[in-house]
Amino acid sequence: MSILPPKNGVRPIGKVKYYLYYFIFFAFLFCNTSCGTKTAKEQGILSHSEMVNALIDVYITEQKVTVLSLPRDSSAVLFKKLNERVLDSLHVQDSVLKKSYNYYLDRPLELEEIYTALVDSLNLREQRAVSEPGRL
């Protein structure tokens, strides 16, 4: 069998069938790999804005506990209780927050966006607190 086309310009039907099988195989492979991935929402992962809001509240709670200057074991217990309240108010489970954080750890560019928004939000709250005492 020659790799050159026949002299009359007509391809044998076997080669067309051969290429058709390759096309179907690669189309199936492409669809299977691209269509099979779940989005972050389907996996139970918090969105960027939800993650930022949750982390803001967690960091503020952590700072409140730190300011109290309690012994380490007491502050850990207090932080755990306050953190549970914060997450309950956000309607977020601790396991979902951990899963989301681990998800974004595997995606450093997305995590950088989240932390940029987090730092900006915390700076804005600090500026508001300085300009308007008693309000966060």
Which tens digit of pLDDT belongs to each residue from 22-42?
Answer: 556 556 656 555 554 555 555
pTM confidence score: 0.65
Report the pLDDT value the prediction gives residue 131, as an integer from 0 to 100: 87
Cβ(136)–Cβ(122) below 8 Å: no
Structure tokens at 110: 């997305």
Query: What mean pLDDT value characterizes the chain?
Result: 80
What letter does residue 3 receive in the DSSP assignment?
S
pLDDT in tens, 50-72: 999 999 999 999 999 999 988 99
Where do the domains of the chain lie? 8-37, 48-131
Query: For residue 2, which phi and psi values (nearest 5 degrees)?
Result: -100, 150
